[in-house]
Amino acid sequence: MYKFNRCLQYMFLRIIVLALSVEGEDLFCKLWGNPDIPLLSKTGDFMLGGVFTLHNNIIASKPTLHLNYRGYQFAEAMIFAIEEINNRTDILPNVSLGYKIYDACGTISLAIKAAMALISGAGEAQSSTLSCSQQSSIHAIIGESASSPTIVVFLIYYHDILKVHFATCACLSNRKEFPTFFRTIPSDYYQSRALAQLVKHFGWTWVGTIRSDNDYGKSGMATFIEAAQKEGICIEYSEVIYRTNPRETFLKTVEVIKMVSSKIIVAFASFIDMELLMKELLLQNITGLQWVGSESWVSDKNVATKENYRIFKGAIGFSNANAVMPGLKEFLLSAHPSSTPGNTGLIQFWENIFDCSFNNTTSKICTGSENLQQVNNLYTDVSELRITYNVYKAVYAVAYALHDLLACQDNQGPWQANQKDELPLQVLQYLQKVNFSANNGEYVNFDINGDPPARYELVNWQLSINGIIEFVTIGFYDASLPEGKQFIMKNKSIVWANNDNKIPKSVCSESCHPGTRKATQRGKPICCFDCLPCAEGEISNNTDAVHCMKCPLEYRANEEKDQCILKDIEFLSYDEIMGMILIIFALLGASLTSVVAVVFFKFRDTPIVKANNSELSFLLLFSLTLCFLCSLTFIREPTQWSCMLRHTAFGITFVLCISCVLGKTIVVLMAFRATMPGSKIMKCFGPTQQRLSVLSLTLLQTLTCIIWLVKYPPLPHKNMNSNKEVIILECEMGSPVAFYLVLGYIGVLAVMCFVLAFLARKLPDNFNEAKFITFSMLVFCAVWITFIPSYISSPGKYTVAVEVFAILASSFGLLLCIFVPKCYIVLLKPDRNSKKHVISKMQSKSLQYNL
């Protein structure tokens, strides 16, 4: 079944090759010979295949072929590792490794041809005559460099081990689709995420992207965009390039770069594609842009030329760690066509380097004495072995796996001598467990997906004193470290693309300062926004805040709206002018009341004092003193006791006061009726009845207040709703019904008093105080009627001030209207303070009424 599947697979891929063949690749076959024949080969006990890009096949307006010196270095590094292993006694003793190396020319179709040649055993039998019973002599393949050709090579060698050094597409980590795939270069999944963290590290949120139109570019850029969006980075544009595109496509990409606003370009592309784009950028002198690159081109010597530095000055990106390979330089320089007969690849390489020919077709003939010591190109340059070292590690990984397999005794392990055809599947188990130390101390191993640990160097393009582009390491990325510690910057100066050599800025909108919030602009990415001030009572204390936070109830926003500060506490206090004025008037009223009481007490035996019912007068003066003093309970920070006292004391004292005035009014009426012949009315409202009436009226108010205090007592309250800027300390009524009953009861008594006084206003002048009581009640009612709207509309502490003012104004009205006229007579008109004067006026008025 295995052989039958291989035969069907081969026939199917022959059809694919025909479908993918293009004019440029046919030209390659004509120029460089049959691609079914290996360019470099050597027999051995176990054969390793190699597929490298030894020529760059660029198909644009005119097909062209370029010798890829770096590709030749990869191929020679594979041979170097094999020769090194063959000369060692600790690895695969008495076993030799051979190789067959093919040129894929960087194209999918030629990669398929190379893979098919490895299946057919090209060089031994032509691929066109492959027998279904024939088995490939290749049991592991090193290569290909690019991701897309690697995928198709794997499809051909599905049951064999494919070991790559430069294919980084994250798609190749899928173990279900690529079960025998291993690589010595990390997956782009980690590199793409590292690039997103790098962009975020420097504060760039507005970037453009360029990618190659192949699996490498598609997969890498897709992962980068996903990671970038999580980091809050926006993509302004995304361009696609590929080496076979017409020049117009590259010109369009250049125009986009010129027109956009972002100054950062993330390029996830192969070095060949970037070379073509660089040519157009150089022609139009597009400088000053900060390039962020993937490992395929950012550390590639083909790209890093002094001419390109003008465009890519200060480019940064991740690359594999550089390495030193002792003996490789000498091995590369010792290569010679005569030392490896039949290796056509070295002949082509030699002819290209020294511009000569071995077949006498040119004017210059290769003598074989040419010296590679005098050659200075990417083949002989061993200063940057980042990818070359991956080829070296790949060969050693396969060798160690083979060594472990062959170390098992016959028929006691997975390896059996008669199962050599199924060797790749058995080596697979050991390759998964490979763990060895390379010559630079690096440990080589693979995870369950066949990937090595993801470690990168962050490199920066810098121009040396000698005018050579250097890849200076400025940081590291290690995916094995805990999140947040994976990206580490070194303390080294970075060269930037701009002339002032400062970190460039690239944002769609400038950051929103604390005190504002971001508001996304309609139809634009989230990185484009307006900065709106926070609403009243809200703050933002971070840059680029998405939402404003509401301050706690006891706090308010400062003027900058970036901090919550405690609200000012407001209450009517002794320290402010308004409070002082009210206190002065309250003490003044209490003092005047006391003075009047002293005057009345001193002249208590005079007719005018006796005629005005001195007992009720003294009780009225006492209650007025309490009214003045109870206003002081309103002028201070509310406490539980002050809140309970202020309204109840006010209600009881005012009822006592109005009850006394009501009693005096009734006495006036009764006294006048008593002067009429045969009247006995004073016996019905004598001193005892007067005391009882005052006591009963006051007791009713007292009971109401007691019930109020017991059931729903007034308590201090922080009012945070009336004014958003301050906390108003006030007394909550507890029960508004009780409060209105207390006020209503005072109002009813005041109205009754006013009505009775009004009826008695025409009684004899010398005895009659009804006119003064009427006027005092008129003042009292006017004050409290105007108090209601003023109380409701006054904010904060002014509400309390209005209430205190009403208490003081009504108290002063009673004091001045009732007692000041009497004090005036007592102190300034003593001649009118006589019994004769009072009786004469009473008699004259009585006669008038009788008539």
| Predicted confidence (pLDDT) at residue 16 exceeds the cutoff of 50 | no
The closest alpha carbon to 648, from 712, 718, 588, belongs to 712
Q: Which has more confidence, 302 or 621?
A: 621
- What single-letter amino acid sits at 473? T
pLDDT classification of 847: cutoffs 50, 70, 90: very low
| Predicted confidence (pLDDT) at residue 332 exceeds the cutoff of 60 | yes
| Predicted confidence (pLDDT) at residue 152 exceeds the cutoff of 80 | no
The closest alpha carbon to 761, from 752, 753, 770, 772, belongs to 770
Measured CA to CA, the distance from residue 644 to residue 648 in angstroms comes to 7
- Residues 6 or more apart in contact with residue 640 via CB below 8 angstroms: 713, 715, 716
**Which option is the CATH number for 2-186+383-432: 2.40.30.110, 3.40.50.2300, 3.40.50.720, 3.90.226.10?**
3.40.50.2300
Determine the pLDDT at residue 221: 95
Determine the pLDDT at residue 725: 81
Query: Is 577-676+686-850 the same fold as 191-319+453-489?
Result: no
CA distances 48 to 141, 157, 415, 489, Å, are 6, 13, 18, 40
Q: Which two tokens stand for residue 77?
A: 């590094």
Measured CA to CA, the distance from residue 381 to residue 454 in angstroms comes to 26
The answer to whether the beta carbons of residues 742 and 708 sit under 8 Å apart is: yes
Determine the pLDDT at residue 685: 57
User: Which segments within 527-636 are labelled E, that is strand?
Assistant: 529-533, 538-539, 549-550, 555-557, 564-566, 568-570
| Predicted confidence (pLDDT) at residue 34 exceeds the cutoff of 80 | no
Ramachandran angles phi, psi of 530, nearest 5°: -105, 155
The answer to whether the beta carbons of residues 456 and 186 sit under 8 Å apart is: yes
Determine the pLDDT at residue 30: 38
Q: Which has more confidence, 758 or 13?
A: 758
Maximum mean pLDDT: which of 56-70, 346-360, 677-691: 346-360
pLDDT classification of 157: cutoffs 50, 70, 90: low
Question: Within a 10 A sphere around the Cβ of 712, how many other Cβ atoms?
Answer: 16
Measured CA to CA, the distance from residue 366 to residue 72 in angstroms comes to 19
| Predicted confidence (pLDDT) at residue 29 exceeds the cutoff of 50 | no
| Predicted confidence (pLDDT) at residue 106 exceeds the cutoff of 90 | no
Measured CA to CA, the distance from residue 125 to residue 104 in angstroms comes to 20
The closest alpha carbon to 135, from 268, 6, 41, belongs to 6
Determine the pLDDT at residue 279: 92
- Residues 6 or more apart in contact with residue 166 via CB below 8 angstroms: 74, 144, 145, 146, 185, 296, 387, 390
In tens, the pLDDT along 35-63 reads: 556 777 888 888 888 888 888 765 444 45
17's enclosing H/E stretch is helix 2-20
Q: Which residues pair with 141 in a beta bridge?
A: 49, 162
- Residues 6 or more apart in contact with residue 260 via CB below 8 angstroms: 208, 236, 237
Whole-model pTM: value is 0.64
Determine the pLDDT at residue 691: 80
State mean pLDDT over 355-370: 78
State mean pLDDT over 744-750: 89
Determine the pLDDT at residue 237: 94
Determine the pLDDT at residue 317: 95
CA distances 602 to 153, 361, 614, 711, Å, are 127, 150, 12, 45
Measured CA to CA, the distance from residue 823 to residue 815 in angstroms comes to 11
Q: Which range is least confidently modeled, 367-371, 448-452, 674-678?
A: 674-678
Give me the chain's average pLDDT, please.
81
User: Which segments within 278-367 are labelled E, that is strand?
Assistant: 290-293, 316-319
The answer to whether the beta carbons of residues 303 and 278 sit under 8 Å apart is: yes
State mean pLDDT over 347-355: 85
The closest alpha carbon to 140, from 113, 111, 108, 115, belongs to 115
Measured CA to CA, the distance from residue 527 to residue 445 in angstroms comes to 41
User: Strands 435-437, 529-533: parallel, antiparallel or unpaired by DSSP?
Assistant: unpaired
Q: Which range is least confidently modeled, 241-245, 670-674, 814-818?
A: 670-674
User: Tell me: domain 577-676+686-850, CATH 3.40.640.10, correct?
Assistant: no
The closest alpha carbon to 541, from 511, 513, 506, 505, belongs to 513
Measured CA to CA, the distance from residue 207 to residue 210 in angstroms comes to 10
Task: Judge residue 810's burial from the number of C-beta atoms within 10 Å of its C-beta, 0-12 exposed, 13-18 middle, 19 or more buried.
Answer: buried
State mean pLDDT over 702-716: 91
Q: pLDDT exceeding 90 applies to what percent of the chain?
A: 27
Domain locations in the chain as residue ranges: 2-186+383-432, 191-319+453-489, 516-566, 577-676+686-850
The answer to whether the beta carbons of residues 444 and 435 sit under 8 Å apart is: yes
Which residues in 107-136 are b (16+ Cβ under 10 Å) and which e?
Answer: bbbbbbbbbbbbbbbbeeeebeebeeebeb
pLDDT classification of 835: cutoffs 50, 70, 90: low
Classify the C-alpha dihedral 504-506-510-511 as positive or negative: negative
In tens, the pLDDT along 588-620 reads: 999 999 999 998 888 888 877 776 667 888 888
Reduced 3-state DSSP string for 682-750: HHHHCHHHHHHHHHHHHHHHHHHHHHHHHHCCCEEEEECCCCCCEEEEEEECCCHHHHHHHHHHHHHHH
Determine the pLDDT at residue 249: 94
Spell out the alpha helix ranges (H) of 260-343.
Answer: 271-283, 295-298, 306-312, 328-334
| Coil, helix or strand at residue 535 | coil
- Which value, to the nearest 10 degrees, does the dihedral of the CA atoms of residues 62, 65, 70, 72 take? 160
Topology at the third CATH level for domain 191-319+453-489: Rossmann fold (3.40.50)
| Predicted confidence (pLDDT) at residue 495 exceeds the cutoff of 90 | yes
In tens, the pLDDT along 313-330 reads: 999 999 988 888 999 999
Maximum mean pLDDT: which of 115-129, 262-276, 348-362, 831-845: 262-276
- Residues 6 or more apart in contact with residue 533 via CB below 8 angstroms: 515, 516, 561
| Predicted confidence (pLDDT) at residue 748 exceeds the cutoff of 70 | yes
Q: How far from the centroid of its chain's Cα atoms is residue 442's Cα?
A: 38
pLDDT classification of 414: cutoffs 50, 70, 90: very low
Question: Within a 10 A sphere around the Cβ of 98, how many other Cβ atoms?
Answer: 17
Question: Within a 10 A sphere around the Cβ of 365, how many other Cβ atoms?
Answer: 12
- Residues 6 or more apart in contact with residue 836 via CB below 8 angstroms: none
Q: Which range is least confidently modeled, 107-116, 372-381, 426-435?
A: 107-116
In tens, the pLDDT along 543-586 reads: 889 899 998 888 889 989 999 999 888 888 888 899 899 999 99
In tens, the pLDDT along 202-214 reads: 989 999 999 999 8
Determine the pLDDT at residue 192: 92
Ramachandran angles phi, psi of 610, nearest 5°: -65, -40
Residue 457, preceding bond cis, omega within 30 degrees?
A: no
Measured CA to CA, the distance from residue 580 to residue 470 in angstroms comes to 82
